[in-house]
Amino acid sequence: MRKRYLGGTAAIAALSMTIALSGCGSTASSGNVTLRLVAAEYGTTPETSSERYWLALATEFESKHPGVKIDIDIRPPKTIDSDVAAMVEEGKAPDLAQGGSYADYATRDQLYTADEIMSVPTQANFLSQLSDAGKVNRIQYGVPFAASTRLLFYNKDLFDQAGIDAPKDWADLKGDAQALKQQGVTTPLALPLGPEEAQSETLMWLLGGGGGYTDTADESYNIDSSANVKTFAWLKDLVAQGLTGPVAPGKLDRAAAYKAFAAGKVGMLNGHPGLLTVAQDQGIDVGTVELPGVDGKAKASMGSADWMMAFKQNGHRAEIGKFLDFVFQDENMMTFVGNYDQLPVTYTATEKMAANAAYENVSVFRSALAESELFPYGKTSWAGVSESIKRNIGKAVEPGQSPKDVLGQIAREAATSESAE
């Protein structure tokens, strides 16, 4: 039988078996200290909501630390970064918040360092690649909470009908897309460059072309490099040939592309672990390969992380540390990553996942994460640059547009932001 990655509601229920869940999660504290946690919604239904996970975890923690209460505030992934920014701007920073970037808060001295809040065993257990990515000026402020990476997904049945094999490089990928189109596949290759997650999709293709967002020598932005321009010229040609489906890439969001793949309408697309279970549950026979590149596989996979930030404003350093030490215990981490299609961020949880046959079908994602390239999280300008990419990158493959000009515009905005750091 197929191994299932999602733990689903059963794992949440196991965590919260003795806990009555009600209300919205924001309750008054009768303890000495109340920690406010702003967390992202990872679930897709009330039964799988992140609120259930955090309420169960908080209740167990509070039973062991009677002087501390956890106030949970769940926010949508699309707005959590702006929501937290607004709270901080209003002088109402939470004690803990999840988000996609932390560097700006760190440079304004608004965050505790990892050294200040966590025990040595907890801090030492984080995957070094992620710990390093959480640093600003060599000091760790961003605490990795969950990780993910990407592979190229393909529909095996559609590939068999077209008589083609999984692509090993861009020439194969283009040929496969042409064969799928001839077979009447609606979208041979989905290219979601819409604002939902364009910064991720873009980086995957840039890595395939031998480029990326930054210069490997000095880590400065290098968005309009010749390699990156060539990559988008190649993608624009695919679009012009009608190989990317009926929706313009700049108007196609990742969620819509994933839904179409699970419905059997897409031949190939770049996907994260969560898509694997969703597509298989819809009866799609899914194949995965490492991201193809121009001359073989891409120089790296794209890796991503969600961060936990600990704000200084309320002065709850000791209580924050106790809670985080609890959050990152293996059993709690395994419940979270199992339910929400993420990869562990600690060595011990990663080892447990590798040893558990239930997670066999995501072993290739774990391997890809170890060799992945992450966003430049440590740059205070990254949040703004990411937004610029989301707004503009889809234009690079539109008819009448120049990839060089579009990438150049984004690069100039990035350079301006970087000079202000």
HSE-CB of 293 using CA atoms within 13 angstroms: 20
| Distance, CA of 281 to CA of 354 (rounded, Å) | 23
The DSSP letter of residue 322 is: H
Q: d(Cα 115, Cα 144) in Å, to the nearest integer?
A: 14
- pLDDT by residue, tens only, the chain of 421 residues: 233 333 444 444 444 433 333 333 333 334 589 999 999 998 878 888 999 999 999 999 999 999 999 999 999 887 898 899 999 999 999 999 998 889 999 999 999 999 999 999 999 999 999 999 999 999 999 999 999 999 999 999 999 999 999 999 999 999 999 999 999 999 999 999 998 889 999 999 999 999 999 987 778 999 999 999 999 999 999 999 999 999 999 999 998 999 999 999 999 999 998 898 889 999 999 999 999 999 999 999 999 999 999 999 999 999 999 999 999 999 999 999 888 888 999 999 999 999 998 888 788 898 888 889 999 998 989 988 998 999 999 999 999 999 999 999 999 999 998 876 6
Same-domain check for residues 207 and 283: yes
Residues spanned by the domain of 17: 8-141+303-362
Same domain for 132 and 199?
no
Together in a domain, 321 and 406: no
Same domain (yes/no): 85, 17: yes
Q: Is residue 355 part of a domain?
A: yes
Q: Is the dihedral of CA 90, 91, 97, 98 positive or negative?
A: positive
Q: CATH number for the domain including 38? A: 3.40.190.10
What the block records as the tokens of 10 is 């059963």
Does residue 178 belong to any structural domain of this protein? yes
Give domain status of residue 274, yes or no: yes
Q: Which H/E stretch holds residue 351?
A: helix 347-355
- Beta strands at 139-140 and 135-136: parallel, antiparallel or unpaired: antiparallel
Domains held by the chain: number: 2
Q: Is the same domain home to 240 and 384?
A: yes
- For residue 369, being part of any structural domain is answered with no
Q: Where are the alpha helices (DSSP H) in 118-225?
A: 120-124, 128-133, 156-162, 170-182, 198-208
Q: Are 81 and 100 in contact (CB under 8 A)?
A: yes
* CA within 13 Å, CB half, 405: 6
Q: Has residue 159 been placed in a domain? A: yes
CA distance 324 to 62: 13
Give domain status of residue 372, yes or no.
no
> For the chain, how big is the Rg over CA atoms in Å?
22
In a domain, 3, yes or no: no
Q: Same structural domain for residues 114 and 174?
A: no
Query: 297 and 314 in one domain?
Result: no
Tokens of 334: 């395994």
User: Nearest 10 degrees: CA dihedral of 104, 105, 108, 112?
Assistant: -140
Instruction: For residue 343, give both structure tokens.
Output: 């990869």
Pair of tokens at residue 156? 């095996």
396 and 415 part of one domain: yes
